[in-house]
Amino acid sequence: MPQPALSRLIAIIEEIAQGNYSDDIMALTGPEQPEEIRAIAEAMGLMMVKVEAREFSLENLAAELRAANADLKQRALATVEAMAAALGARDAYTQGHGQRVGRLAAALARRVGLEPQEVEEVRVAGILHDIGKIGFSDQVFANEDTVPSPELLREIRTHPQLGAEIVESLDFLGPVREFVLCHHERPDGQGYPQGLGGEDIPLGARLISVADVYDALTTDRPYQEGRSRAEALEVLQGLAGGGLDPELVRAFPQCLAGLPAAGG
Ligand SMILES: [Fe+2]
């Protein structure tokens, strides 16, 4: 067996073992090659073709799965967003509130340096934060302008937990469930449902709280005209440290640049 052909064959096989496929092996399948070299080279060439075909079909399969998965997530999310929009149909005051809170909370999340994936989770949780109100009795919506009775207050306070249960089944939403559950917690521990304090409240929930309060203040209600941007920011300042995260309140005004004016 001539040495150069064998050395060449070994070198090519070593390359293949490294995952570097090429047609070099075919040069050793010609009739001028010794029989043993030719037989090994042909078997190797055939094996490469089969491995490449299998890799190709696996890659295609993985791409199809990724696309189907993304599509499924999109549809599930669209369904929950439609439910959030349906809430607006039950309660005129919350019309558009979820979308605005999602947009504001995401802007604040970007402002404080969260990664794009985290910003997206905050945006989705902002849209869905009050989804638990969908199970409220008509009484709650009918009496929104008056001070709620203790009984109604108890019902109102169930909405973060109900909302968390609704989004729980969508496990791809990740921390969105926690953000929905904790959006009425307060840094001073006086919030609900768990009475968490300070940084025990997930950051996403603290971001949503700031956006939620701001949007509630600047939205027109039958009994009260929405406040101006400056007035609302003043109220937020007053809540810093008690009801709202002080650092987020400080960062919030810069997020408003470029957004439609308050009250709209
Ligand atoms: Fe809420």
pLDDT digits (tens, 9 = 90+) for 205-215: 999 999 999 99
Better-scored residue on pLDDT, 76 or 230? 230
Structure tokens at 120: 């997206």
The predicted structure's pLDDT at residue 62:
96
The predicted structure's pLDDT at residue 144:
67
Q: How far is the CA of 182 from the centre of ligand 1 (A)?
A: 9
Better-scored residue on pLDDT, 198 or 224? 198
The predicted structure's pLDDT at residue 264:
40
For residue 182, pLDDT beyond 80: yes
Q: How far is the CA of 127 from the centre of ligand 1 (A)?
A: 11
Q: How far is the CA of 63 from the centre of ligand 1 (A)?
A: 39
- For 205, the 3-state DSSP assignment is helix
The predicted structure's pLDDT at residue 235:
96
Q: Quote the CA–CA distance of 185 and 164 in Å, as a whole number.
A: 14
Q: How far is the CA of 140 from the centre of ligand 1 (A)?
A: 13
Q: Quote the CA–CA distance of 63 and 10 in Å, as a whole number.
A: 35
Percent of the chain with pLDDT over 90: 59
Q: How far is the CA of 164 from the centre of ligand 1 (A)?
A: 11
170: left (phi over 0), alpha (psi -120 to 50) or beta: beta
CATH architecture under which domain 91-255 falls: Orthogonal Bundle (1.10)
The predicted structure's pLDDT at residue 262:
53
User: Do the beta carbons of residue 157 and residue 183 sit within 8 Å?
Assistant: no
For residue 2, pLDDT beyond 60: no
Of 38, 45, 39, 36, which Cα lies nearest the Cα of 13? Answer: 45
At 240-253, the pLDDT tens digits run 999 999 999 999 99
Better-scored residue on pLDDT, 226 or 211? 211
* Buried residues in 116-130 as b, exposed as e (16+ CB within 10 A): eebbbbbbbbbbbbb
For residue 203, pLDDT beyond 80: yes
At 155-174, the pLDDT tens digits run 889 999 999 999 888 878 88
Q: How far is the CA of 95 from the centre of ligand 1 (A)?
A: 13
User: Do the beta carbons of residue 176 and residue 124 sit within 8 Å?
Assistant: yes
pLDDT, mean over the chain: 89
What mean pLDDT do residues 10-28 have?
A: 88
- Distances, alpha carbon 151 to alpha carbons 40, 55, 140, 162, in Å: 84, 63, 10, 17
First to last CA, the chain: 86
Instruction: Quote the DSSP letter at residue 114.
Output: -
What mean pLDDT do residues 79-91 have?
A: 80
What mean pLDDT do residues 169-182 have?
A: 90
The predicted structure's pLDDT at residue 225:
87
Q: How far is the CA of 151 from the centre of ligand 1 (A)?
A: 17
At 111-145, the pLDDT tens digits run 999 999 999 999 999 999 999 988 887 777 776 66
Q: How confident is the model at residue 261 (pLDDT cuts 50, 70, 90)?
A: low
What mean pLDDT do residues 72-96 have?
A: 81
Q: How far is the CA of 160 from the centre of ligand 1 (A)?
A: 7
